[in-house]
Amino acid sequence: MDEFGLIGQYFASASCAQGGDGIALGIGDDCALLELPAAEQMAVSTDTLVNGVHFPENADPALLAMRGLAVSVSDLAAMGATPVGFTLALTLPMAEPAWLAAFASGLERMAQQCSIRLIGGDTTRGPLSLTFTVFGRVPRGQALTRCGARVGDLVCVGGALGDAAGALPLVLGTRQAAPEIAEPLRARYWSPQPQLTLGQVLRGKASAALDVSDGLLADCGHIAAASGVKLCVEQARLPLSQALRALLGDADARTCALGGGDDYLLAFTLPAEHLQPLCAAGWPVHVVGRVEAGEGVELLDEQGQRLMPPTRGYQHFGSRGD
């Protein structure tokens, strides 16, 4: 076994993370084995992050691991699924112990936060990239898909948008800000918190859902296309964080919220009768618009005037293609 064959040792702790109900066989054989209660379905998603494309060169390995896993687990949240396990295909130019130890510690931390267990993977030599495949359980027929939005539903998001996009110049070091502004924004970029419990609560309530990875308008376009409706977003209702507004001012903060990817908060459509009970129970549900007949996405100002023509293919900032 060469140095790459030994890398698995670094990940022993992530493979013992809490959770793991439904893992019959973990790391070490040709395949892992998962079990699934009869009334449930297995949700599966794959995401790749490439050095210099999806994260800055020389990224902190612990933060990189946290972000990579969170980005993928967020897809489970978007389906209303409960995390079970994940595989990691890690490609590295060299096997450097300090880098690997830091990466593994970040991976373990996010795995614990999300109650998900490393069940297998592959480590190969090559240009740095990470591919996570995540597995979650969801009661049969209750997964939140993109195709159920109905005219009259509310368009909602799970929190303040745009922080990750606003943080990018801070992450890249091309802009500075006071710590009370910079720190929370950087954290939103590096360790997004998948809205797993919100996703699970929305089962049987939200008519469509996804996680915001391409930017709100582009992602609303995905729901509109899959559901055969139009989503109208009211610009004035966008929830924005104090930190983002302090960094950029309101206009640029809104631009980040509308077009910036990588927030990994949920966006969903909700029949109006579910709004009050969810808000009363303290869930972070922010109404930003309404579903109408038609197609594409419409952005409206405070007077209800259209700010851009309906579109199905809003060109987003981000470099992610999915």
Closer by beta carbon to a copy of itself, 44 or else 307 = 44
**Number of neighbours of residue 230 by Cβ within 10 angstroms:** 22
DSSP-derived 3-state class of residue 151: coil
Residue in 124, 197, 242, 276 binding a copy of itself, rule: CB under 8 A? 124
Q: Of 140 and 306, which CB lies nearer to a copy of itself in the complex structure?
A: 140
Of the pair 146, 286, the CB lying nearest a copy of itself is at: 146
Length of the chain: 322
Instruction: Map residues 2-21 to x or -, x wherever contact with a copy of itself holds by CB under 8 A.
Output: x-xx-x--------------
Sign of the Cα pseudo-torsion (307, 311, 317, 322, in order): positive
Site string for a copy of itself, 268-307 (x = CB under 8 A): ----------------------------------------
Q: Is 309 in the site for a copy of itself (CB under 8 A)?
A: no
Closest CB to a copy of itself among 49 and 257?
A: 49
Q: If you search the block for the tokens 């998603």, which residue do you land on?
A: 45
Q: Which of residues 19-58 bind a copy of itself (CB under 8 A)?
A: 24-25, 28-36, 38, 41-54
Residues near a copy of itself (CB under 8 A), total: 72
Of 82, 113, 129, 195, the residue at the interface with a copy of itself (CB under 8 A) is 129
Q: How far is the C-alpha of 266 from the C-alpha of 287, rounded, in Å?
A: 12
Residue 45 or 241: which CB sits closer to a copy of itself? Answer: 45
Residues in 73-112 that interact with a copy of itself by CB under 8 A: 75-76, 78-79, 81, 85, 87-89, 91
- For residues 293 and 283, give the distance between their C-alpha atoms in angstroms, rounded to a whole number: 28
Shortest reach from residue 69's CB to a copy of itself, in Å: 14
Among candidate residues 115, 141, 130, 131, the one with its CA nearest the CA of residue 23:
115
> Helix H segments across 80-193?
97-114, 163-172, 179-190
Q: How far apart are CA 51 and CA 91, in angstroms?
A: 10
**Least Å distance between CB 49 and a copy of itself?**
8
8-state DSSP, 302: T
- What would the x/- binding string for a copy of itself be over residues 236 to 275, using CB under 8 A? ----------------------------------------
Shortest separation between residue 106's beta carbon and a copy of itself, angstroms: 19
* Interatomic CA distance for residues 57 and 72, integer angstroms: 20
Which is nearer to a copy of itself, 126 or 282 (by Cβ)?
126
For position 122 contacting a copy of itself by CB under 8 A, the verdict is yes
How far apart are CB 8 and a copy of itself at their closest, in Å?
9
- Give the C-alpha separation, 110 to 112, whole Å: 5
Residue 71 Cβ vs a copy of itself, minimum distance, rounded to whole Å: 10
Instruction: Name residue 283's beta-bridge partners.
Output: none
| Complete edge-to-edge strand list for the sheet that includes strand 286-292 | 208-211, 266-270, 154-157, 286-292, 230-234, 296-300, 306-311
Confirm or reject binding of residue 228 to a copy of itself (CB under 8 A): no
Residue of the chain from 103, 135, 190, 268 that contacts a copy of itself (CB under 8 A): 135
User: Least Å distance between CB 6 and a copy of itself?
Assistant: 8
Query: 270 and 158 in contact (C-beta within 8 Å)?
Result: no
Q: What is the C-alpha separation between 209 and 202, in angstroms, rounded?
A: 9
In whole angstroms, what is the distance from residue 170 CA to residue 175 CA?
A: 5
